[in-house]
Amino acid sequence: MVATRAGTGHPRTRKRALKKRTLKKALRAYWRQYLAISPFYVLFAVFMLGPVLFSLFLAFHKWDGLGPMEFVGLQNFRFMVKDSLFWQSLTNTFAIWFLSTIPMLLLALVLAAMLNSSVRFGGFYRVAYFIPNVTSIVAIAIFFGSVFANQVGLVNVVLQWLHVGTVGWLTDSFAIKLVISALITWQWTGYNAIIYLAGMQAISSELYEAARIDGAGPVKCFLKITLPLLRPVILFTVIMSAIGGMQTFTEPQVLFGTVDATNPDTGGPGHAGLTTVLYLYREAFNFNQLGYGAAIAWALFLVILLFTVINWRLIAGSGRRDR
Amino acid sequence: MSQAVSDQGVPMTGAAHRANRAKRVNQRARSLKRAKRIALHVLLVFGTLVSVFPFYWTAVMATNTTEDMYRNPPALVPGPHLVRNVQRVFDNVDFMGSLLNTIIVACATTFLVLLIDSLAAFTFAKYEFPGNRMLFRFLLLTLMLPAQLSLIPRFVLMVELGWAGSLSSLIFPGVANAFGIFLLRQYIQNSVPDDLLQAARLDGCGFLRQYWHVALPAIRPGLAFLGIYTFITAWNDYAWPLVALVDPEKVTLQVALARLNTAHHTDYSMVMAGTLLAVLPLVVVFVLFARQFIRDVMKGALRG
Amino acid sequence: MELTRRRLIQAGLLTGAGLAANACGGGPSGKGSDSLAGKKMAIWVWDGCISMNVLKDGVAHFSQTKLTPSVIGGTFKQKLLTTMTSRAFLPSITGVKGEDMPFFKGTKADQFVDLNTLGADKLSSQYVSWKLKQATTKDGKLLGLPIDIGPCALFYRQDIFAKAGLPTEPKDVSAAMSTWDGYFDAGVKLKKAVPDSYLIDDGSAPFSYTVKQGTKLFIDENDRFVADQPHIRTAWDRAIKAMELGIVAPYAEPGSTDSNAAYNNGTAASSVGAAWHYLDLVQAAPKTKGKWRVAAMPGGPANFGGSFLSIPRDGGDHALAFEIITWLLSPQNEARTWVDNGNFPAAPASYSLPELTGPVPFFGGQKTIEIFAPAADKIPVAYEAPADAAVSAPFLSELKDVWAKKKDPEKAWNDAVSTAKQVAQREGVS
């Protein structure tokens, strides 16, 4: 993301001269380029941007999806500020993100470092670690739901054998977050490890040799060479996991997909697994408050934006100085 | 006996003594190295077990009866009831039909993403044109839009287009994802030297031919990575198909699976058999191509 | 890699071509004519909505059309609503859950065919009148014919009751546990005698069913918020009392693995529910056949659910659809649905049929009609507002908090009321 362009090729030199030209001239000179990027923007405008703008419009209305829309001004947002469930869903989302991302990225770094030490069967391990990412969340949430079931789940059965005492995995509000985080960690650690490994293998081995001659051990090498050079890749993974983590939905939806028609998609007892997107879904689709759902979506978008910028500053900010 | 004695108790000369000690140090170092390697493998194998255990356990549950799972202790090894459970999956959902739908959606999405994204990524990476940076930043911004934000309006749009319930309603929104452009742009910056493009330009290659003959061959590994990634994402998509596929006779695998889970929640071994069936094709396909895929990722993707 | 990518792209090209063909042939007009021609008629149900055997016979009986039943998973109301929005692929006939009917009746009546225009008015005497009224709009449109009603009862494990020294025969159980307090006392006894078993499998049941035993729910017929009034508070206190007595099973979401396991392994010694709760038990714990019995509902009769078959306005061939509905819901067929699913018929003519008066094997040969018929007779009819489900949700959530997170009951009550008020306000209830 913060990569500099290799070489100083010619297309760049035109830049300054270009600024003075008019848009029309630019279009004439670069129509091929605009044409080349246009399919994406056209599709994006039709299938993403249009709907997104419409949802902004929707956020100021009350609509159940079928009847007439009613303009309500800021009422949805006023309701949101007072809505304790909305705030709880935000807390839940951050808690789950934190509980999953930290172990996930640390484990991924360790895994990548181990794989990077030219170990035998490296190819096999890579495939094995990537497989969870290929698995559908629906399937794996069904699986986690049965393994962590309170009375008959495998985990509690094993804990019982060990005489440790069981944990209410699907009832305790912290345990619920742990289960969802474990699911995310399981699914994404290998993926991130592969990305880190790619980054590590791109680091010149001469750097390590030089360090070794200077008497640096493997840990020091890792801290002084690998980590700093890996910073852009780490930034990438943190940003991606933040964007993904803020939108956690399928895991709690499938895990706590109750058949209770009057109170569906609660995110488990005490709404402990109710993420913001699940709450949005619940309000919009189960209670037919599409306007309010849209308002929540927009609030969430702003939160994600803010969160991404903070992450970026934290990691990329110090990274620039190194370069 | 002040003289140094070898292991065999034979007196040694000074030189032999030194050599022996060196050998011993060497041996120790080697055995330490071996111990380290074994420890490394133990850790890696443990990780592998954690990675693949759910598949094993799903298989266990899919081959036993629901009552076997409620027993204490539950069944721990695969049982003989797979055929019965699979038969019940087929009775309850149109598994083959939904499999075919999923394959169509995943293939078409992948093809379109590769084409559209590589072209755009090439342009962004190698051409400076007015609005380049602004348009690209905008692209990044779009990654942050929660997909659920547009769930309902997009559905309304599909209704207007007459696409609600058709597979097209899944394919095209899936193509409008900036991730691929983002990824490939970085890839092209790293693996397509400007000199090469310059040379091609001098040879009279136009924009499209530079893209096709210079850029594309150089970023094959990146395309493969993006391709498989897109394929997997399309295959596993859940929330949108759940809403968009209004015809219950025409669904994708994930929707069929979720339906199995909610409509027949009491028949757990059957649900697990369905889960196994839904996961297996993709895992097999992935394992077949994975080594190459991951090696290609290693070669240069995301070099930062 | 060469191979992979080429194959991938080839496959993509092929499907791309297929897609183009699909896009051309799949316009809205194509879909419409498909269902209007009366060749293929879809009927949407959920698992347990109506007997699958009756449906199968219906498919064979109406051979002039291709009747295709679909079992819809997930939230049924939501699926129906999104499909209505799409104006395509609407089924010719759909099930509507009793608890969803107030919503559809209140705001979406125009999406359904008024069955009275198709001749339902002549059949109205065939069904329980209060149930028909539930599907009748203020201006007299009838949106559905009832499949069943939901008279509630106490389902209990005779073997476990015997072990605990509790009464075992339905008659005695009904007498001893005719009130909630009597029921709770039995729970305390059970806990002492059989510590692994619990009398109440769902902590919110005493709350939900006490509310259903009254004639006022969360919103009254004048669209006023009444969820903070004594009738709700009484129900709340009752649920809290059960929790404090320690007679509620470890928390499990209804329908979860844990709750199903509880029916199997005897953790759940009893369960209150409507007649259709039968199917939950049969499906979750087929091996416990013969061990269950049915007794009268503690605290008096109540109705929970009971659903309808309706005809969506945009679903095609209304006349034939109506003919199919009346066939599926004839007293004889409703009796068969009772046998297969336990749904208690909404057509009183079926009550005297041998299917209903006969013994039920799952309940050890008990003639459960003796429990359900009197219960059905005395059902208190309450007004159910479209927003009732949304307003009741905070109470159920807070009760879960009290149970699973040991939240202070008084604080939970206050939170529930304030959240419910907020929701009600948004829904336009004062």
3-state secondary structure string, C161-196?
A: HHHCCCCCCHHHHHHHCCCHHHHHHHHHHHHHHCCC
Instruction: Name the pTM for this structure.
Output: 0.81
Half-sphere exposure of B112 (CA within 13 A, CB side): 25
Per DSSP bridges, beta strands C145-146 and C308-310 are: antiparallel
- Beta strand segments in C150-304, E: 152-157, 270-274, 292-296
CB atoms within 10 A of CB B303: 18
**Is-contact B231 B113, C-beta < 8 A?**
no
> How near does any CA of chain A get to the CA of C339, in Å?
23
Please enumerate in sequence order all residues whose Cβ is within 8 A of that of C247, keeping only pairs 6 or more positions apart, or say none. C184, C187, C188, C190, C191, C198, C199, C200
Q: What is the predicted pLDDT for the residue at A173?
A: 85
Q: What is the predicted pLDDT for the residue at A84?
A: 86
Which amino acid, B263? Answer: A
- Work out the pLDDT band at B298, boundaries 50, 70, 90: low
- Inter-chain CB pairs, A–B, below 8 Å: 306
The residue in chain C having the minimum alpha-carbon distance to the alpha carbon of residue A263 is C393
Its domain, for residue A263, covers: 75-322
Tell how many helices (H) and how many strands (E) occur in chain C.
19, 10
- Of C410, C401, C416, residue with least CA distance to C227: C416
Please report, in tens digits, the pLDDT of each residue of chain C (430 residues total).
233 333 333 333 333 333 333 333 333 333 333 444 447 899 999 888 999 999 999 999 999 899 999 888 777 888 888 888 877 788 999 999 998 999 899 888 999 999 999 999 999 899 999 999 999 999 999 999 999 999 999 999 999 999 999 999 999 999 999 999 999 999 999 999 999 899 999 899 999 999 999 999 999 989 899 999 999 999 999 999 999 999 998 877 777 778 888 898 889 999 999 999 999 999 888 889 999 999 999 999 999 999 999 999 988 899 999 999 999 999 999 999 999 999 999 999 999 999 999 999 999 999 999 999 999 999 999 999 988 888 998 999 899 889 887 889 999 999 999 999 988 988 888 6
Return phi, psi of residue A156, to 5°.
-70, -30
Terminal alpha carbon distance of chain A:
13
> Is A135 within 8 Å of B195 when comparing Cβ atoms?
no
- Of C283, C240, C239, C247, residue with least CA distance to C267: C247
**Is-contact A286 C78, C-beta < 8 A?**
yes
Q: In Å, what is the CA distance from B161 to each residue of A183, B158, B239, C16, C23?
A: 37, 5, 20, 19, 10
> Is A9 within 8 Å of B126 when comparing Cβ atoms?
yes
The partner residue sitting opposite C82, judged by closest CB among B110, B155, B260, is B155
Q: What is the predicted pLDDT for the residue at C26?
A: 35
- Inter-chain CB pairs, A–C, below 8 Å: 120
Which amino acid, C9? Answer: I
- Of C413, C241, C407, residue with least CA distance to A171: C407
Output the average pLDDT for chain A: 83
3-state SS class at B166: coil
Q: Which residues of A touch B301 (CB under 8 A)?
A: 198
3-state SS class at C216: coil
**Is-contact C297 C209, C-beta < 8 A?**
yes
Q: What is the predicted pLDDT for the residue at B220?
A: 82
| A contact chains, 3+ CB pairs < 8 A | B, C
Torsion of CA C11, C13, C18, C21, to 10 degrees: 180
State what percent of residues in chain B have pLDDT above 90: 19
**Is-contact C329 C347, C-beta < 8 A?**
yes
Domain presence at residue A52: no
- Can you read off the two tokens belonging to residue B269? 């071994």
| pLDDT tens digits along A254-299 | 888 665 666 778 888 778 899 999 998 888 888 888 899 999 989 9
Establish whether this prediction's ipTM goes over 0.95. Answer: no
CATH number among 1.10.3720.10, 3.40.50.970, 3.40.50.2300, 3.40.50.300, domain B93-263: 1.10.3720.10
Burial class for C410, CB neighbours closer than 10 Å (0-12, 13-18, 19+): exposed
Distance separating alpha carbons of residues B26 and B118, to the nearest angstrom: 53
- Can you read off the two tokens belonging to residue A132? 């969870």
The partner residue sitting opposite B72, judged by closest CB among A33, A142, A157, is A157
Residue A182 has pLDDT above 50, yes or no: yes
CB atoms within 10 A of CB C139: 7
> Is A36 within 8 Å of B120 when comparing Cβ atoms?
yes
Q: What is the predicted pLDDT for the residue at C191?
A: 94
**DSSP characters over C81-118:** HHHHHHTSS--SEEEE-TTTHHHHHHH-GGGB--GGGG
Q: What is the predicted pLDDT for the residue at B109?
A: 95
> Is A145 within 8 Å of C256 when comparing Cβ atoms?
yes
DSSP B157: H
Burial class for C122, CB neighbours closer than 10 Å (0-12, 13-18, 19+): exposed
Q: What is the predicted pLDDT for the residue at C346?
A: 96
Q: Which residues of A touch B89 (CB under 8 A)?
A: none
**Rounded to the nearest 10 degrees, what angle do helices A137-147 and A154-161 cross at?**
30
**A 75-94 residues inside an 8 A Cβ radius of B:** none
CB atoms within 10 A of CB B73: 10
- Can you read off the two tokens belonging to residue C196? 């692994």
> Is C393 within 8 Å of A262 when comparing Cβ atoms?
yes
DSSP C308: E
- Work out the pLDDT band at A91, boundaries 50, 70, 90: very high
Q: What is the predicted pLDDT for the residue at B296?
A: 59
Q: What angle do CA A238, A239, A245 make, to 5 degrees?
A: 85
Distance separating alpha carbons of residues C41 and C69, to the nearest angstrom: 8
Domain presence at residue A62: no
**According to CATH, what is the number of the domain C38-149+306-357?**
3.40.190.10
Q: Which residues of B touch A41 (CB under 8 A)?
A: 135
**C 70-109 residues inside an 8 A Cβ radius of B:** 70-74, 79, 82-83, 85-89
> Which of the residues C31, C86, C92 would you substitute to probe the B interface, choosing the one with the greatest number of B C-beta atoms within 10 Å?
C86
Residue B15 has pLDDT above 60, yes or no: yes
3-state SS class at C52: helix
- Of B98, B132, B163, residue with least CA distance to C19: B163
Q: Span B127-148, mean pLDDT?
A: 79
| pLDDT tens digits along B240-293 | 888 888 888 888 999 888 888 877 667 788 988 998 998 888 888 888 777 666
**Cis? peptide before B73, omega within 30° of 0:** yes
Per DSSP bridges, beta strands C292-296 and C152-157 are: antiparallel
- Beta strand segments in C1-110, E: 40-45, 66-71, 93-96
Secondary structure, 3-state, C108-124 = CHHHECCHHHHCHHHCH
Q: Which residues of B touch A232 (CB under 8 A)?
A: 304
| A290: CATH | 1.10.3720.10
Distance separating alpha carbons of residues C111 and C103, to the nearest angstrom: 12
- Can you read off the two tokens belonging to residue B124? 């962004």
| pLDDT tens digits along B69-94 | 777 677 788 889 999 999 989 988 88
Q: Which residues of chain C does CATH 3.40.190.10 include?
A: 38-149+306-357, 152-216+228-303+361-380
**Is-contact A65 A251, C-beta < 8 A?**
no
Sheet containing C152-157, strands listed edge to edge, beginning at the edge strand earlier in sequence: C270-274, C152-157, C292-296
Q: In Å, what is the CA distance from B24 to each residue of B6, B28, B30, B274, C174?
A: 12, 6, 10, 59, 87
> Is B92 within 8 Å of C71 when comparing Cβ atoms?
yes
Distance separating alpha carbons of residues C88 and C315, to the nearest angstrom: 8
Bridge partners, C136 (sequence order): C142
Distance separating alpha carbons of residues A143 and B271, to the nearest angstrom: 10
- Can you read off the two tokens belonging to residue A182? 């474990």
Task: Answer whether C265 touches B (CB < 8 Å).
Answer: yes
Which amino acid, A208? Answer: Y
Domain C152-216+228-303+361-380 has CATH 3.40.50.2300: no
Which of the pair, A171 or C369, is modelled with greater confidence? C369
Domain presence at residue A7: no
Residue A149 has pLDDT above 50, yes or no: yes
Distance separating alpha carbons of residues A188 and A182, to the nearest angstrom: 10
Domain count, chain A: 1
Distance separating alpha carbons of residues A201 and B298, to the nearest angstrom: 7
Distance separating alpha carbons of residues B118 and B111, to the nearest angstrom: 11
CB atoms within 10 A of CB C153: 27
Task: Answer whether A12 touches B (CB < 8 Å).
Answer: yes
**C 129-158 residues inside an 8 A Cβ radius of B:** none
- Can you read off the two tokens belonging to residue B7? 């292991």
